[in-house]
């Protein structure tokens, strides 16, 4: 889900171009009016959720993954691997 923070991020073509540049191939919900942002009670850009095989949000990381060497990338990768190993 992409909720724009800046004016440039409100332009769908900019989001598409950046997604291609980053190699993102999965669908991106453009939340231009912040409907989903509010529904999920977001407070920080970015917020990363890990969703399990049954569609439940199991883990959340609010803010930059590596802000002040927080270790978010490693943590979320480990948790994602754990979720992938789970059976239904």
* Tens-digit pLDDT profile for residues 32-62: 999 999 998 889 888 999 999 999 999 999 9
Q: How many helices (H) and strands (E) does the chain have?
A: 3, 2
Global pTM value: 0.74
Q: Are 49 and 57 in contact (CB under 8 A)?
A: yes
pLDDT confidence tier of residue 78, bands split at 50, 70 and 90: very high
User: Hey, where are the domains in the chain?
Assistant: 1-42, 43-88
Q: How far apart are CA 12 and CA 2, in angstroms?
A: 10
Q: Which residues contact 49 (CB under 8 A, 6 or more apart)?
A: 57, 59, 60
């Amino acid at each position: 889900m992409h909720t724009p923070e800046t004016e440039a991020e409100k332009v769908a073509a900019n989001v598409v171009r950046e997604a291609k540049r980053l190699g993102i191939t999965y669908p991106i919900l453009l939340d231009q009016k912040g409907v989903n942002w509010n529904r999920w009670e977001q407070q920080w850009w970015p917020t990363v959720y890990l969703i399990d095989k049954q569609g439940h949000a199991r883990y959340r990381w609010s803010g930059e993954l590596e802000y002040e060497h927080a270790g978010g990338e490693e943590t979320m990768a480990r948790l994602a691997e754990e979720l992938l190993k789970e059976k239904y």
